[in-house]
Amino acid sequence: MATGHHNDFLQFDVAIVGSGLGGMTVALHLARTKKVLLIAKRELLGGASDWAQGGIAAVLDSGDSVESHLQDTLVAGAGLCDEGATRFIIENSTDAIQWLIDMGVPFSPDPSAQRGFHLTREGGHSHRRIIHAADATGHAVQVTLEQAVRAHPNIELMEHHIAIDLITSDRIGIDGPARCVGLYAQDINSGRVLTIAAAHTVLATGGAGKVYLYTTNPDTATGDGIAMAWRAGCRVANMEFIQFHPTCLYHPYAKSFLISEAVRGEGGLLKLPAQAGADAGQRFMPAQHERAELAPRDIVARAIDFEMKTRGLDHVDLDISHQSPEFLQTHFPNILARCLEFGIDIRTQPIPVVPAAHYTCGGVVTDMHGRTDLPGLYAVGETAYTGLHGANRLASNSLLECLVLGRAAAEHVASQPAFVPPALPLWDESRVTNADEEVVIAHNWDELRRSMWNYVGIVRTTRRLLRARSRIQLLQAEIDEYYRRFRITRDLVELRNLVQVAALIVECALARHESRGLHDTRDYPATLPAALPTVLTPAGR
């Protein structure tokens, strides 16, 4: 199918929403045989993949094994990982890394290692299996793939465009089973809304960290793909499991700068700060878990949250100053330089850190081909729920999932018979006007994120969750009315998606009557004997 352009209508074989590692992986694998559109909300490197510091977990050493990586993942997932999906992803990890190496990703070398690359270890891993590019792995990977994407003649790029909603055959009056036939997207700069027809659509929009007041995620992480898929009739699962990264730089001007898991993997120690008085400088993780600082993230985040709340602390300290300056410069050049910008010299001082919303373990239900419940629609990466992460994501498994499922989705799309989308209705703005009070969006955005932080945070109660549900329902009503009356803007589209995702998180959390992994509730402190995912189905499906 040739690419078609007619005013505000475009047509492609495949439309991919999101330009992180999942989206670019799908695009590059498909572009050999398909005409591909890649939509980015900002520039191509504006997503969370570019921010990833630590690395990618894979079986790359003879002392390691698929079984060992599998068991570490299952343990971190607190019994909720889908073992078949997890095994599939890990079994394909070596090939996934080799593809990146072949693409030219400059991973940190180690001439003494079997494959010639340095492997580090992170919390929850029993072996050194994290291949990385110093402490800016995501950026190294994304820059390499960006160059390939920009150079490929079969990939058309749409930067600074935001997807609004999916187009399904049943909702435009076409008989037969529902199918995704494209989407609407807005040019953020001009405000023009495009109608995009596609035989196959792939959601790779990342997570929903911006639903919380404090997050390590970029501003683009507003749950767009999850919300769009839910509105289109797809099931969503395990949204109660929001991973809070234990160590986000605490500084008023740092704007959520992540301190990599690898800092603790290379010997960083969590200590009480000067604010703790006589206990200043004491470690607290050895009393919490046998792995101390290398415990899984949920345990570390809860321990920090506990110390901060019981002692009235603003932050705790992460100290790696016992390592040599040369070691820190080699392994953590980005973190060293960034902290220095804020007057913190990690060679001689501890790093002030706090937990922050980091990763959405749940998402749109998919199979091992990335297929959702809606034919023609796929989801990959943080947007999707494959069963890999269970109740808690093991460090550095997320980029691996993007690579393996991105390739699997591309292969499935490529194997499908040709499909020509029907004529699609253009976006209709005839009954709306320009917004009269933008302050409504800003106020609702702030209220939503504060409500989620206060009521649906690291430790939860049923009363807090019900309070959050009540507030979210009122906000949804206000936002839906605003959406119907006024012309859309990026802020309005994102707020509409965020409030939908917030509602899904709360409903999943209320449905789980136990504490497991990242879901810790005081009303149900025990863990049930049977581990079952929380699956939500849209009304009418």
| Pair 82, 70: CB distance under 8 Å | no
In the chain, which segments carry CATH 1.20.58.100? 439-524
Q: Where in the chain is the domain with CATH 3.50.50.60?
A: 4-240+361-415
CA distances from 305 to 109, 146, 238, 313 (A): 37, 38, 22, 9
pTM of the complete model: 0.89
pLDDT of residue 89: 98
Instruction: Output the pLDDT for position 7.
Output: 61
Report which DSSP code applies to 438: T
Domain 247-357 has CATH 3.90.700.10: yes
As beta bridge partners, residue 202 has: 16, 378
Helices (H) and strands (E) in the chain, counts: 14, 21
Identity at 89, one-letter amino acid code = I
Alpha-carbon distance 315 to 352, whole Å? 6
Specify burial of residue 173 (Cβ count, 10 A radius: 0-12, 13-18, 19+): exposed
What whole-number distance in Å separates Cα of residue 364 and Cα of residue 235?
6
Tokens 């960006």 found at:
146
The answer to whether 370 touches 412, Cβ cutoff 8 Å, is yes
User: Please, what CATH class does the domain formed by 439-524 belong to?
Assistant: mainly alpha
**With the C-alpha atoms ordered 270, 275, 281, 285, is the resulting torsion angle positive or negative?**
negative
The Cα–Cα gap between 55 and 260 comes to 9
As a whole number of angstroms, the distance between CA 354 and CA 259 comes to: 10
Q: Which CATH architecture has domain 4-240+361-415?
A: 3-Layer(bba) Sandwich (3.50)
CB 196 within 8 A of CB 38: no
Which pLDDT does position 476 carry in this prediction? 96
> What residues does CATH 3.90.700.10 cover in the chain?
247-357
Structure confidence at residue 46 (pLDDT): 85
Q: What is the pLDDT of residues 455-508, one digit of tens each?
A: 998 989 999 999 999 999 999 999 999 999 889 999 999 999 999 999 999 999
Please list the active-site residues: 297
Average pLDDT, the chain: 93
pLDDT tens digits for 246-279? 899 998 888 778 898 889 999 999 999 999 999 9
Q: Give the residues of the chain that fall short of pLDDT 70.
A: 1-7, 436, 541
